[in-house]
Chains A and B, each alone.
Chain A
Amino acid sequence: MAETSAVTDWTRATAAQMADALAAGEVTSVELVQAHLDRIAAVDGPVHAFLHIDAEGALETARAVDADRAAGVSLPRLAGVPIGIKDVLVTKGLPTTAGSRILEGWVPPYDATVTRRVREARMPILGKTNMDEFAMGSSTEHSGYGPTHNPWDLSRIPGGSGGGSAAALAAFEAPLTIGSDTGGSIRQPASVTATVGVKPTYGGVSRFGAIALASSLDQLGPCGRTVLDTALLHEVMGGHDEMDATSLDEPVPAVVSAALEGAAMDLTGVKVGVVRELSGADGGYQAGVMQRFEESLARLREMGAEVVEVSCPSFEYALAAYYVILPSEASSNLAKFDSVRFGLRVEKSTVEKTMLATRAEGFGDEVKRRIILGTYALSAGYYDAYYGSAQKVRTLVQRDFDAAFAQCDVLVSPTTPTTPFKIGERIDDPLAMYLNDIATIPANLAGIPGMSLPSGLAPEDGLPVGFQILAPAHEDARLYRIGAALEASLAAEWGGPLSAQAPELEVAS
């Protein structure tokens, strides 16, 4: 494409532009990787999006891609485009901690399926991105290695648990990153950093090699600065994998073509449902968040969509059900950190004392809270009241979605009730922290796909606001069609993507 030849700062380009320029011979993968490594060196001190940088590994992949391209070898679309991987995914030969001190220094002996697919796509891996410990959190403040800072305002949270993956995009340290979404950990960080993130249908992306938080809720997904870039990565990651018994045995949804179709800005015949329970000042939604949400609805109408209101009354109980189910599954999944096979060991006289001391030292407070909560919810005498009831609420939430999707093609809401808050503001109030995910959690309980994309800056504080789109299970493509339409409509007004408006970060010399 014409404009790419004029690009001087490759870190500002989209992944699609980079792929096109690589194919056209206008830039090499080594140049792209080096530009991003330089950017990381310049700004990641204060942002702290990365836990580990693999400069040599990324350059080695880039050199091999460049050599193959020069030799005329046929390459995947994103070959040579660099990527960051959330530290929840195991990467053979690269340290993997899931943000926990209990795994400090662990180097996995195998690749996650998604890691393998990224390697097969010939994408240079820049490094591993920061996250709340074992993905428990909405701010990245629960990382065992210190918080990530929001590039829009370094005193504020970048969301969580995938704050590192989102901040890396917003700070132009990577054009694409991978996230995991158990209750909103892809969508909520996307919302507060003016980036795009998608939680695919449960089972759409293999979880093999993703360090498990809550197995019935976890789903890996793509993060980018544009809807099309996110779609390109979605197609790399997705697809059936026999190593994951919950993997869907069906083709990857055609999300790239859906994104291209959406960019034509014609939504004639599309029915959009506004979920009454996930918006409005009554629910604690900030005025500027609601204003940008309403404006986006008006744009959808202008493009031909019909907007209706729907009600999902059981959503009132979704947050409570989530904070029973997640800790229950997590308390079981995290039992494997026992000082025997990997990770930290605080040596005591017996195995049991060693386990007690190791887990006390290796886990942070939020992990301890949730393990204890889950142990309680699963214990004799309380199981029916807590875990059993929460599973029933899960059924009610699914029924609400079924009824709503009988009336419309997609559902929409603000992704988060507020713009990003200050680091430290909610750290001592777990319940207030949990409320960040009020609008994103229902999708995980039901297994349906969801996207967050930027809808503007809140007038009162100039900080990013996210727009959430939800679709029925297996209909991930609808997110991309409607998302790309809204993105194109907004970009026409802004003169480009919202991410370009992020304040310049101070560059380390």
Chain B
Amino acid sequence: MSSLDRSDVARLAGLARIDMSDADLDRLSGQLAVIVDAVAKVAEVAGEDVPATSHPIPMANIHREDVVRPSLAQDAALSGAPDAEDGRFRVPQILGEEA
């Protein structure tokens, strides 16, 4: 497995929706490469015959009765929103000029 370089970090930051300046990329790329190299050792012992574990205590089919019960009121759900209008979350325009 190869290490991360600066352009990888720039691409990943875009996927993760985090703007990164050149200074951010300079600072974080080197640290991330060191971490990625260190964690790559997980592949050393992960043989074909070893099953994967996703949850520490396996549980399945956790259901509740399908009945209506109280939930957050609309004004409570909107209470922390940066912007709201007519009982809805309000956001800037979805499509850019170029679209």
- Chain A residues at the B interface, C-beta cutoff of 8 Å: 106-110, 201-203, 216-217, 242, 245-246, 248, 314, 317, 320-321, 323-324, 331, 335, 338-345, 347-357, 359-360, 363, 365, 368-369, 371-373, 375-377, 379, 382, 385-386, 388-396, 398, 430-431, 444-448, 473
Contacts and interface: CB of A to CB of B under 8 A. Distances in A.
Contacts of B96: 349-350, 352-353
A202 B55 CA distance: 9
28 contacts: A109-B79, A202-B56, A202-B57, A216-B54, A317-B41, A323-B38, A341-B89, A345-B82, A350-B94, A351-B94, A356-B17, A357-B19, A360-B18, A368-B24, A369-B28, A369-B32, A373-B35, A375-B16, A376-B12, A376-B36, A377-B39, A379-B15, A385-B43, A386-B39, A394-B53, A395-B52, A396-B45, A398-B53
Contacts of A372: 9, 12-13, 16, 18, 28, 32
A365 to B, nearest CB: 7
A340 B82 contact: yes
A342 B89 CA distance: 10
A358 to B, nearest CB: 9
Given A341-B89, A350-B94, A375-B16, A201 B35 contact: no
Chain B CB count within 10 A is highest, among A320, A324, A377, for A320
B68 interface: no
A153 B89 CA distance: 47
Contact of A392 (B46, B62, B64, B93): B46
Contacts of A347: 92
A245 B82 contact: no
A248 B38 contact: no
B31 interface: yes
Interface string B72-86: 100011011111000
B90 to A, nearest CB: 9
Nearest to B97: A349
Nearest to A248: B57
Contacts of A110: 72, 76
Given A391-B53, A431-B34, 7 more contacts: A202-B56, A216-B54, A359-B19, A360-B20, A372-B32, A376-B36, A444-B56
Contacts of B79: 107, 109
Contacts of B82: 339-340, 342-345
Contacts of A375: 12, 15-16
B15 to A, nearest CB: 5
Given A340-B91, A351-B93, A360 B19 contact: yes
Contacts of A217: 56
Contacts of A340: 81-82, 89, 91
A109 B77 contact: yes
- In the A-B complex, the 10 residue pairs with the closest CB atoms: A447-B56, A345-B82, A391-B52, A342-B80, A389-B46, A360-B19, A109-B76, A392-B46, A394-B53, A389-B42
B26 interface: no
A106 B80 contact: yes
B45 A317 contact: yes
A472 to B, nearest CB: 11
Nearest to A430: B31
Contact of A349 (B24, B31, B36, B92): B92
A368 B28 contact: yes
A405 to B, nearest CB: 14
Given A109-B79, A339-B82, A368 B18 contact: yes
A340 B42 CA distance: 37
B60 to A, nearest CB: 10
Interface in B55-73: 55-57, 59, 62, 64, 72
Contacts of A341: 77, 80-81, 89
Given A343-B80, A349-B92, A391-B53, A379 B19 contact: no
B92 A348 contact: yes
B78 to A, nearest CB: 8
Contacts of B81: 340-342
Nearest to B48: A392
Contact of A359 (B4, B18, B35, B54): B18
A339 B82 CA distance: 7
